[in-house]
Amino acid sequence: MDRRGVTLLELMIVVAIIGILAAVAIPAYDGYVTRSRRSNAFTALETVRAAQEMYRAEYGFYAGALGSLAGCSATMAGDNYTISLNRSSFTQYTATAQPQNKQTGDFWFRVNQDGTQEYSSDGTSWTQGRWEDLR
């Protein structure tokens, strides 16, 4: 008897293997995508920091609003982070990246005039540390 084709059992084994691979690969892929979106926030915050230094060199103090800085806006990190600027004095500021949309629930990031990098899981309790450690 010449059997050509695939039995139901063989087909079920292949489907099970594909299911197991997908169960491992999809969450790992989502993690990579989440981490790659963070780099947009990092880049935006470093851009704000550089623009603040240029502003300070010209005017003698830091800007109090993102609109005063060349190339900076609340949406400069894309759809997944909102960038904000808080100037507590003419010599101190904090730029913050707040997660939104697909990044909701991810870390918040901020940098100050000294270049100190911090992150938070909720935007209220901050930990000082390099952002790259979260990649």
49-65 burial by CB neighbour count: b if 16+ within 10 A, else e? bebbeebbeeeeebbee
Per-residue pLDDT of the chain (135 residues; tens, 9 = 90+): 567 778 888 889 999 999 998 888 888 888 888 888 999 999 999 999 999 999 999 999 999 999 999 999 999 998 999 999 999 999 999 999 999 999 999 999 999 999 999 999 988 889 988 887 776
Element (H, E) at 45: helix 8-59
Give the separation between CA 40 and CA 81, rounded to whole angstroms.
8
Q: What are the chain's domains?
A: 8-134 (3.30.540)
